[in-house]
Structure formats: C-alpha cells, structure tokens
Structure 1
C-alpha cells in the first residue's frame, strides 16, 4: 500500500506531470488494471485526498447551510456530494460527505485542503461544530457501490446510470434535462480505513493504480475538482442533481445556480474527447481545444484507455458544434457530449 509518499515495492510511482501524485500510478499492467476495475474488482489507493471530520450537534445543519446539496438529514451510513461555491456560483470545493455515527466526514482534493479548512473555520460563527483534519485514515476506492463497515461514500446514481439523486426541482425543471447517455459507467465507493487496519483490509485484494482509476472515470465523463478552473459552474459539468439540490434555500452562490437553471445559459459544456491515436503526448490540463483556428475550450484531464485509446475531458463553448472534428495540440479529436447543451434555454 501507499503510506504518504512511501509506496509498496510493486507500485510504479507517477510521472511528475500526472494529475495524482503521492499514490501508485500502476502495479505493472495499467491496461489490465482498468479491466479489473470495470469488472468490479480491485482496490485503488487514493490516500492523497484530505479527510476532515465534523463533530457536534450542528454538524449537518451547518454544512447544509453553507453548501449546495441537502445534507441536513443524512442518517448514519448515508453519503452525499456537495459543493462550496463562490458568491458568483463558481465551484470552489467538491466535498464527498459521509455521515457515520456522531461524525460527519468530508473527503476533498488535497490541493484545496488549507483553503477549505480556513473557510469552514471562518463560517462556524455560533454553530456547535468542531472541525478537524484527520490523519488516522486512508482513503481507498473500490468499484462496488455498497456501504462497508467503515465510513463509506457512494458514487452518485447518475454516474452509473442507476437513477437520479434526490435533488428537487424548480421553475426550470429537475436535473434530468442535463442528462445524456453516458459513454461508460462509473460505479464505486470511497472508504475511510484506519491506518492501523489498512494491511488487513488489503489482504486478498488486487491493487490497482491511479491510471486505471482515472481511465474509468474519464471514460464515463465524470469530472473531479482538479478538472475545474476558477470559472467552472455546476451546470457545465453535470453536477446539477449529483451535487446541487434545486429546492433548498439560501447558500453562497445559490442565486446563480437558480438563475442559470431557470433561465439557462451556462457558457460551457463538459465533453469527452476521443483523441487521434499516435505517438503524440497526452494533453494536460489547460491545453487549448481548437475548432477552425478558434479556441473553443480547454482540456481538463486525459488518460490512455485500454479500449478507447487516448481520451480526455474538456470544457468547451456551449455554442460550438458537437459534430465537428476538433484539434488539441495539432492532434484531431472527436466529441461525445456529457452534458446536454440543449437543456439550456436560449
């Protein structure tokens, strides 16, 4: 297993430009590791995430008041996804929420840990809630959508085409208007395992790396916080429903969420790109997407997939033609829509 920056003897560390650092990239056969995850087997060390714990009687109602989803009534064992938005509705933090006995756990990307903790502490005011950065747990992903004996976050139903997250509706309808058929399914769970029990939990399980994890995620059109820029809106990336409740009251950024949903013109849409196979290096976050010499978007993340070859997620202008072949670093690519551009009125 990977403990901090120490990796098991069989683990191959990531290259310096890989999106996930400090965890195993693969264990010798990354393409077969992808197949293993797709078949519902294997376990992925994603312990480069930060884990926070919220305790105190106000933990859930307080979190509900400052974030985008309805989490106030989560029962022990239940999980959800919620967002911290800017005053203008842009995504600042993506939180995987787990209610477990008298504690609420939050899983977030490591890069945002300090800013997230600072913001949460600032927003406590008179609420009875204590916030702590947890160092006694490691986070693992398994391609199984079942609650374990440990604190468990389940992937949203939409990511696996299993149904719709309960997210209410408003004048603009419910979240179904954003949905298109997914190119693949992303089904699984994130489990918080105490460090002292990691070795016994890994016993008998085949480990897979972050290459395989990101390959099945990207192929299913599922974004992560690290895919976003400072302008990203929930509507652009398919997070209305999975991470945003349409009927809940005021929270920071809610006015923008409601206005775009009801009147509807988010400027971009999440798109899966199938890149031309060849010797070209995979694009990296921020590389430009070009159509007829016009910059129409940016790359979010990319990976080599065992079946589809080189693929990438990109945020592209909503008005750009989805049927045209586009270019990334001189490499041609075809598109598959993840978020329905016609859902947005006007």
Structure 2
C-alpha cells in the first residue's frame, strides 16, 4: 500500500498528514475545492439495527428518530451535569447510522455506546481499522468512491431545534463548504497513489484546522475540557435540539439556556504576528493582570494570519486588548465576541410582586 510518506513534501506525525510543504497554500486549495485532506485524526463508528435512530436519539442531544437518509447532523453525549463528553458527526443511509468521530474520542465513545445497548436491536462497530476519512469541499469529496453518504458540515447554519448565540452577520463560517467522505482501504490507496504521482493535490491537517478555527467551529478533541457546556462554544446551533425528549444532561442544557447564562464563553482572537510566536492550547489569556481564560485552538490562516479560539469567563471585559501568556513571553491579542455575555436567559419569566406589596395592594 502506498504510504503518505511517498507524497512529495509530506510531513507526518502521530495524528496523520500535517502538511505537504505549504500549509497556507493548502488552505487556499482546500477552500477552492482543488485539494483533498486525509483526515488521519478522524475515525468511523457504525450503528446498525432497527432501533438505532431512536436509541441514539434517547442518548444524545440531537433529534435522530426521524433522521432522513443522507441528511447530515451531529450530536453530543453529555454527562448528568450537561458537560460535553463525546461528539459525533452523523449521517444515515436507511440501514446504518455512520458516526465520524475525533480519533482521541472514538474508542471511548464506542465502548460507552456498546454498554448502553441493553436489549435493543442495535449493533455498534468500531470501523477505525478498515475505513478512512477524506475531507474537502462537497465537490472535492464528490470525486471519490465512498462507502456511505457524504457528511456535509451543517455549521454555522442553525439546525432544526437549535439556537444561535453569535450575533455577527455574516457569520465568519457562512461561506464554509466542508464535507467528509468515508472510503475503504482500496479507495484511500488510490487517492494516496494519485497524490504521490502528482495527479491529485493533498492538504494537511494544519490547513484543515486553520479553516475550522477561522469559522469558529468547535471540535471536541481540541476545544473541550472536562467542564465544557455546549452553550459556551455556541454549539446549540448544530448539535443540540432544544425541544426534543429527555436525555442525559438535558435539564442543565435547558436551565442554562432558558434561565441562566453559560459560565464561560468562547471568543475569537486575532494574534500579534510580528514576532512569529504562537500560543499553545491551555495558555492563559489575561485582561490586564487578571487571568480570564485559556486558549483552546490556534492556527495561522491564509488571510487572517495567526488566530485562536479561547474560553473566557462570562464576565470578561469586551472590547479591551488582551494578552496571551506563551512559553516565549506575552503575546498581544484582540478579541471578537462569539458567545456574548448575556447569552441564555431566553425564557420570558414573569416578575412576581413581592408578597408585602401584593398584600398592601389588596
């Protein structure tokens, strides 16, 4: 089998193909539909059986019972406190539900799903060893032979039952055209061999990540920590159905959205690129001398330059210059609000008069 290392300029690490010599140029090719990205950091899980959609509906944040064949969506698995534990991109072909999952989360999600089967007619299979994922525009992935319907990213459109917190128009991800195709080993081999011979252009994960971060698109393996609520990343847009039936964590999702505010909120950072310094995930973000949050994602975009996503306190000041504490020293940053401080509290709760005042009126 042709190895990715045979592709001219390929730089590979444990996640997969990072780039083929020019991450910035690769971004342009990905965005224009002239390159494919081997997504070595994605895995495939299948769920078959008559009860699969209603079963996944009962476990997850998304309404899936009546998911039509070929329709793309995504779901979150939450803990009892509403914190994000797992995430999956979802498409169904009327016989099998296909889940595309971040590699670091795939094994844990597959094990958890298997434990939750009980007596239902469902079969969960981890296909990570025999199926591969290629990413790109819909036109680009349409050129390959797939084993399942192509998953088309619904971000940043608001899915049925979802809710958008970001108020920027147009949304920076509005023109994002991203799809992921599941292929077998023979087709993956054909694509890599074609790239090695110079017939097909490939792009690496660095380019994929830059386009994702610029679109403010959350990713569980990178942006989530052990206490992330979906509201904090504006993830109610595509991954949560607010009026579906009960599921684990649903009470917290409803309370925060209807009555409260998410304790943290994501911001997009434009970083000072004059010294070629980039922060790392987890680096502290400060307003003056006060730490207000931490970096989750970092990239160098072909138009915007160095950018990042950060989770900050809800009460963090807006419109003020920020500083990121990197291993190479402080780095200036300008923040753009994604999730506003007043996100949530959407229920129209009537204000009741104080008891003393009501009796006085009587």
The reply to whether TM is greater than 0.5 is yes
SS at match of 1:252: coil
Compute the displacement of 1:310 (Å). 1.1
**Structure 2 equivalent of residue 106 of structure 1:** 99
Cα offset for 1:116? Answer: 1.1
Note if contact 2:218-2:235 (Cα within 8 Å) is conserved in structure 1: no
1:293 aligns with 2:293: no
Q: Could you list the per-position Cα deviations for residues 204-248 of structure 1 after superposition, in whole angstroms to 9, with x for gaps in the alignment? A: 532111111111111111111121101111101011130000110
Partner secondary structure for residue 11 of structure 2: coil
Q: Secondary structure at the match of 2:206?
A: helix
Which of 117, 127, 130 aligns to 1:136? It is 130
CA RMSD of aligned residues (A): 2.2
How does the TM-score come out when normalised to structure 2?
0.85
1:211 is aligned to 206
Quote the offset at 1:146 in angstroms: 9.3
Give the TM-score taking structure 1 as reference length: 0.89
Aligned ranges 1:255-266 → 2 under 5 Å: 255-266=251-262
After the TM superposition, which parts of structure 1 deviate over 4 Å for at least 4 consecutive aligned residues?
Answer: 145-149, 201-204
Secondary structure of the structure 2 residue equivalent to 1:207: coil
Q: CA deviation at 1:48?
A: 2.5
Secondary structure at the aligned position of 2:18 is classed as coil
Q: CA deviation at 1:143?
A: 2.0
Aligned to 1:18: none
Does the 8 A contact of 2:11 with 2:21 survive in 1? no
Alignment of 1:49 with 2:42, yes or no, is yes
Aligned pair count reads 329
Q: State the alpha-carbon separation in 1 of the partners of residues 108 and 203 from structure 2.
A: 30
Corresponding residue number in structure 1 for 2:275: 279
CA positional deviation for 1:179: 4.3
Which residue number in structure 1 is paired with residue 5 of structure 2? Answer: 7
Distance 1:2 1:28 in 2: 19
Question: Among residues 296, 300, 303, which one is paired with 1:304 in the alignment?
Answer: 300
**CA distance, structure 2, for counterparts of residue 339 and residue 261 of structure 1:** 12
Alignment of 1:118-197 (within 5 A): 118-134=111-127, 135-144=129-138, 148=142, 150=146, 151=148, 152-156=150-154, 158-159=155-156, 163-167=157-161, 175-181=163-169, 182-184=171-173, 185-197=175-187
Unaligned runs of 5+ in 2: 347-362
Partner residue in 2 for 1:270: 266
8 Å CA contact 2:88, 2:99 repeated in 1: yes
Unpaired segments of 5 or more residues in structure 1? 16-20, 168-173
How far 1:37 sits from its partner (Å)? 2.0
